[in-house]
Amino acid sequence: MAGSFTLNVVSPNGAIFNDEVEFLVVPGEDGELGILPNHSPLMATLNIGVIRITQNGKVNRMALSGGFMEVGGNKVTLLAESAELADTIDIVRAKAAKERAEQRLASKSAEIDMVRAELALLRAVARLKAAEITKH
């Protein structure tokens, strides 16, 4: 594939994606980062959000729960806390997780870890955003 680079996404559960792509957009700590072929070497922290992968002219999405990215030698490696391709996301389960997190945040109980609940909400929203595009 002309004008491409290798994208490898791995998590503690194993390889998620490994193929040639044309363009990549990831949720960086200070906003979205776009990567094209022959990008300069780079290391970045990634936030919870949606990854957009352009492959053969088609955009695919993946939900990301944070991690790190290394770019160099026309290869991008994402070390993800967790990642899910959009077409594998269970929307019903993601909606239930979102509702649970919202209920925990609304309760304002001293027993609830608010930071953990906020992160759970962000992860659920990212999963829904990634899945929405492909499921509708």
Q: For residue range 77-101, what is the model confidence (pLDDT) as tens digits?
A: 999 999 999 999 989 999 999 998 8
Cα–Cα distance for residue pair 136/132, rounded to 1 Å: 6
Cα–Cα distance for residue pair 27/119, rounded to 1 Å: 15
**What is the reported pTM?**
0.84
Contact status, residue 76 vs residue 44, Cβ threshold 8 Å? no
β partners of residue 19: 7
Q: How confident is the model at residue 1 (pLDDT cuts 50, 70, 90)?
A: very low
Q: State the span(s) of the chain assigned CATH 1.20.5.440.
A: 90-135
Class of domain 5-86: mainly beta
- What was the pLDDT predicted at 2? 59
- What was the pLDDT predicted at 133? 58
Q: Per the CATH hierarchy, to which homologous superfamily does domain 90-135 belong? A: ATP synthase delta/epsilon subunit, C-terminal domain (1.20.5.440)
For residue range 20-68, what is the model confidence (pLDDT) as tens digits? Answer: 999 999 999 999 999 999 999 999 999 999 999 999 999 999 999 999 9
Residue 112 has pLDDT above 90, yes or no: no
- Is 136 or 5 the better-scoring residue by pLDDT? 5
Q: State the span(s) of the chain assigned CATH 2.60.15.10.
A: 5-86
